[in-house]
């Protein structure tokens, strides 16, 4: 990987910003290291969203393309072009965000500026990342213009889509609730209006915004937004339902007629882009300032009650700090294993950065100097579980091992169950990453067989972690790591269905494999090592495979159920059908599967 100091891009360089650190309670400014280039060859990158395997999708504003960047950097691969994106001075294909269930639904949401209006659309990405198609328009009627589109789109902790729009270069739009411009909008992933919006029949969450460029959430759910000012002050605001943030009547703190910002900075030093919450701070990429701003936020600031501050003094709860060499970054989710591939553990102390000019398009990584308290707590808990089992884990032992105080645990995780869930996800991801045993082959049945064996091996080598993840059978409670494992299994079952080798529905096959595999593993864990008979696992595995799969020769001449399951698995390839026709055919095939 090429290491070099960051060189200032040409005039008009665009910085996509946010930092890749889980949220933590450390409020002190953090020292950043030297940026390292991880990918180049991007064409006007604007939006970026991380996928479960640590790779990233990047929207290219001018071309309307979405490209995929490998988790460790490298040559970007074109996924496809988003229809209707029309480039302008600031418009085209803008923000993108992957569904929280991307591993199974393959959905990405995008903000698109078009010839007549701007819209929010849902896209479906092919399993092989070589194509995409627009599924539906979730929200339209957003005025377009040459500039001031906003365009940032994120998924909040409430599961809703949060969208920042610009005033379409018409300042009065921001104060006019008859338009969707100059607003923060909030809709459900299906395009409907959340019932707790200020108006139950409107997507408008707040108004009085000039040009929103970034939205992020603190660990307590507090929503923050970065906003491009006019000539005097760029702003960071704490968002609240129904609030008016003052534009176009006022800008910044002085004489504010709306809700005042918690932080302001002159456009020459900022012109903020994306924002993320990490390490007790907001991290804000600066387009004009060509730097990364760190703004500590805690206490009253998180509740929206902070005293507004000037550009030269303090941030919301402590002194702001400029990192001129960091440039920018983006925050990936907590690393999880993608279906059918070994997870890549993105270091918690990593900043992903992208800059754009007409001549050079690059993405950078900046290393942080210290590990976040959240990571220390998770790793300490996983170690205690592995060495001493569940009885070794308590608030006291975790605090001692992680070097934190007890309030940090409850501030970051809510309770000890939250800590245990996070440790389970970390332990499973670490084990799978170290084994690197989830590479797919040409035989999906053999891949399922290998996955079964790895599952049992994990249980026998990490019994405390396994029992923590899979031994809790309370109705309605599924630890995140168990959901991750279920997603991997569902993907492997789906590949067998695509190959025409599944005797039962995908849902029933997954149920049979999951319940039997878990039962066998827990039985072996409960058996003294000297009395274990590992042939139990082999016999159970082969019995289940014989029940749910056919051999390759039989796959070409099987009955109605097998044909229905196989066709259903390939429905996304039926591009000659409309969405409604695909939905209808999917329902018929599901009914055949259930009846059979």
Give 264-277 as a DSSP string: EE-TTT--EEEEEE
Per-residue pLDDT, averaged over 56-69, amounts to 92
Please indicate whether residue 555 or residue 501 has the higher confidence score (pLDDT).
501
Give the pLDDT confidence of 499-551 residue by residue, as tens digits: 888 888 889 999 999 999 999 999 999 999 999 999 999 999 999 999 999 87
Q: Residue 253 in contact with residue 321, Cβ under 8 Å?
A: no
Round to whole Å and give the CA distance between 365 and 348.
Answer: 12
* Tokens 């959901």, residue located: 483
Q: What is the CA radius of gyration of the chain?
A: 25
Q: Specify the pLDDT at position 1.
A: 26
Among 75-79, 266-270, 538-542, 560-564, the range scoring the smallest mean pLDDT is 560-564
Confidence of residue 575 (pLDDT cuts 50, 70, 90): confident
Spatial strand order of the sheet with 107-113 comes to 93-98, 107-113, 118-125, 132-142
User: Between helices 406-413 and 373-388, what is the axis angle to 10°?
Assistant: 100
Q: Considering the chain, what percentage of its residues have pLDDT values greater than 70?
A: 73
Q: Residue 438 in contact with residue 454, Cβ under 8 Å?
A: yes
Per the omega criterion (within 30 degrees of 0), is the bond before 223 cis?
A: no
Overall CATH class of domain 14-368: mainly beta
Q: The pTM is what?
A: 0.55
Among 43, 21, 34, which Cα is nearest to 357's? 43
Joined together, the tokens standing for residue 24 give 């933590």
DSSP state of 174: G
pLDDT for residue 476 is more than 60: yes
Phi, psi dihedral angles at 532 (to 5 degrees): -70, 140
For residue 206, what is the enclosing H or E element?
Answer: strand 204-206
Torsion of CA 352, 225, 198, 411, to 10 degrees: 70
Round to whole Å and give the CA distance between 527 and 518.
Answer: 14
Please indicate whether residue 6 or residue 386 has the higher confidence score (pLDDT).
386
Confidence of residue 305 (pLDDT cuts 50, 70, 90): very low
Q: Specify the pLDDT at position 477.
A: 72
The SS3 assignment for 196 reads coil
Q: Specify the pLDDT at position 569.
A: 64
pLDDT for residue 334 is more than 50: no
Q: Specify the pLDDT at position 135.
A: 94
Where on the phi/psi map is residue 497: left (φ > 0), alpha (ψ -120 to 50), or beta? alpha
Q: Specify the pLDDT at position 53.
A: 83
pLDDT for residue 176 is more than 80: yes
Query: In whole angstroms, how far apart are CA 271 and each of 264, 275, 288, 292, 546?
Result: 11, 12, 5, 11, 61
Among 138-152, 327-341, 469-483, 515-529, the range scoring the smallest mean pLDDT is 327-341
Q: Specify the pLDDT at position 350.
A: 31
Query: In whole angstroms, how far apart are CA 44 and each of 48, 103, 149, 270, 330?
Result: 12, 27, 16, 19, 16
pLDDT for residue 339 is more than 50: no
Round to whole Å and give the CA distance between 151 and 97.
Answer: 11
Q: Write the CB contacts of 519 (distance below 8 Å, at least 6 apart in sequence).
A: none
Per-residue pLDDT, averaged over 121-143, amounts to 96
What are the structural domain ranges in the chain?
14-368, 437-595
CA triplet 172, 175, 180: central angle to 5 degrees? 90
Which residues in 552-562 are b (16+ Cβ under 10 Å) and which e? Answer: eeebeebeebb
Joined together, the tokens standing for residue 516 give 């039997």
Spatial strand order of the sheet with 281-286 comes to 272-278, 281-286, 291-296, 321-323
CA atoms within 13 A on the CB side of 558: 23
Please indicate whether residue 72 or residue 238 has the higher confidence score (pLDDT).
238
For residue 161, what is the enclosing H or E element?
Answer: strand 161-165
- Residue 180 CA to its chain's centroid (Å): 25
Confidence of residue 570 (pLDDT cuts 50, 70, 90): low
The SS3 assignment for 550 reads coil
């Amino acid at each position: 990987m090429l290491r070099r100091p960051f060189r200032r891009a040409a005039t008009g360089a665009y910085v996509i910003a946010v930092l890749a650190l889980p949220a933590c309670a450390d409020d002190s400014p953090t020292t950043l290291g030297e940026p390292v280039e991880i990918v180049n060859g991007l064409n006007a990158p604007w939006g970026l969203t991380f996928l479960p395997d640590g790779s990233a999708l990047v929207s290219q504003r001018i071309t309307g393309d979405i490209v995929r960047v490998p988790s460790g950097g490298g040559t970007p691969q074109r996924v496809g072009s988003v229809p209707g994106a029309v480039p302008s001075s600031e418009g085209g294909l803008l923000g993108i965000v992957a569904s929280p269930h991307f591993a199974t639904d393959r959905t990405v949401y995008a903000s698109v500026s078009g010839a007549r209006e701007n819209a929010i659309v849902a896209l479906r990405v092919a399993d092989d990342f070589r194509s995409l198609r627009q599924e539906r328009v979730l929200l339209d009627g957003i005025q377009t213009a040459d500039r001031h589109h906003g365009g940032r789109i994120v998924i909040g902790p409430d599961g809703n889509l949060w969208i920042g729009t610009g005033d379409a270069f018409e300042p009065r739009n921001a104060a006019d609730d008859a338009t969707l411009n100059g607003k923060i909008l909030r809709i459900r992933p299906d395009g409907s209006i959340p019932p707790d919006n200020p108006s139950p029949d409107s997507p408008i969450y707040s108004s009085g915004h000039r040009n929103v460029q970034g939205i992020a959430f603190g660990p307590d759910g507090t929503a923050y937004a970065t906003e491009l000012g006019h000539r005097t002050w760029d702003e960071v605001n704490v968002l609240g339902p129904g609030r008016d943030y003052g534009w176009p009547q006022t800008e910044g703190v002085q004489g504010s007629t709306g809700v005042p910002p918690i932080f302001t900075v002159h456009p020459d030093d900022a012109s903020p882009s994306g924002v993320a919450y990490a390490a007790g701070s907001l991290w804000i990429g600066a387009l004009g300032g060509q730097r990364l701003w760190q703004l500590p936020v805690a206490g009253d600031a998180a509740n929206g009650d902070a005293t507004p501050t000037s550009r030269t003094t303090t941030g919301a709860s402590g002194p702001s700090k400029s990192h001129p060499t960091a440039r920018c970054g983006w925050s990936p989710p907590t690393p999880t294993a993608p279906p059918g591939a070994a997870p890549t553990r993105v270091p918690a102390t990593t900043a992903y950065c992208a800059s754009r000019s007409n001549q050079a398009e690059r993405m950078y990584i900046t290393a942080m100097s210290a590990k976040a308290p959240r990571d220390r707590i998770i790793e300490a808990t996983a170690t205690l579980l592995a060495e001493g089992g569940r009885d070794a884990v308590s608030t006291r032992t975790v605090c001692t091992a992680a070097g934190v105080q007890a309030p940090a645990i409850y501030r970051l995780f809510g309770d000890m169950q939250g800590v245990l869930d996070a440790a389970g996800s970390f332990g499973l991801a670490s084990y799978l990453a170290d084994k690197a045993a989830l590479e797919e082959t040409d035989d999906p049945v053999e891949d399922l067989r290998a996955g079964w064996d790895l599952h049992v091996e994990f249980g026998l080598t990490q019994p405390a972690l396994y029992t923590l993840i899979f031994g809790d059978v309370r109705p309605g409670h599924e630890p995140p790591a168990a959901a991750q494992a279920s997603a991997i299994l569902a993907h492997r079952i789906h590949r067998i269905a695509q190959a025409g080798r599944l005797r039962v529905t995908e849902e029933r096959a997954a149920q049979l494999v999951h319940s039997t595999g878990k039962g066998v593993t827990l039985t072996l864990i409960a058996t003294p090592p000297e009395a274990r008979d590992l042939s139990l696992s082999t016999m159970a595995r082969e019995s289940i495979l014989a029940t749910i799969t056919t051999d390759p020769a039989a796959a070409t001449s099987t009955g109605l159920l097998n044909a229905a399951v196989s066709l259903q698995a390939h429905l996304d390839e039926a591009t000659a059908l409309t969405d409604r026709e695909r939905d209808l055919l999917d329902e018929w095939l599901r009914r055949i599967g259930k009846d059979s």
